Copies of this chain bind each other. A is one copy, B any other.
Amino acid sequence: MRARVLIRPKAGILDPQGVAVERALPALGFAGVANVHVGRLVELDIEDSAQLESMCEKLLANPLVEDYEVELLQGSG
């Protein structure tokens, strides 16, 4: 099945990319934007979705400073 992993900086951990985007937007003429956070997106085909949490802990995310969220996009297996 296709799976999507959303990886975000943990609350309270510095998010320099988010800060940079939030500061750059007004300079480009975009107003009314707040709480910008930049993370990573990993999408993959996986046979056994039970492996995903362990994959996130060991490779995809850094659990010390990042939270992750798994979404299954297709199928039930």
Which residues of A approach B to under 8 Å, CB–CB?
Answer: 6-8, 21-22, 24-25, 28, 30-48, 51, 54-55, 58-60
Contact = CB atoms under 8 A, between A and B. Distances in A.
Closest 4 pairs between A and B when the two form their complex, measured CB to CB: A32-B47, A39-B41, A36-B44, A41-B41
A30 B30 CA distance: 43
B36 A42 contact: yes
Nearest to A54: B30
Contacts of A41: 6-8, 38-41
A21 B54 CA distance: 14
Contacts of A48: 32
A34 B48 CA distance: 12
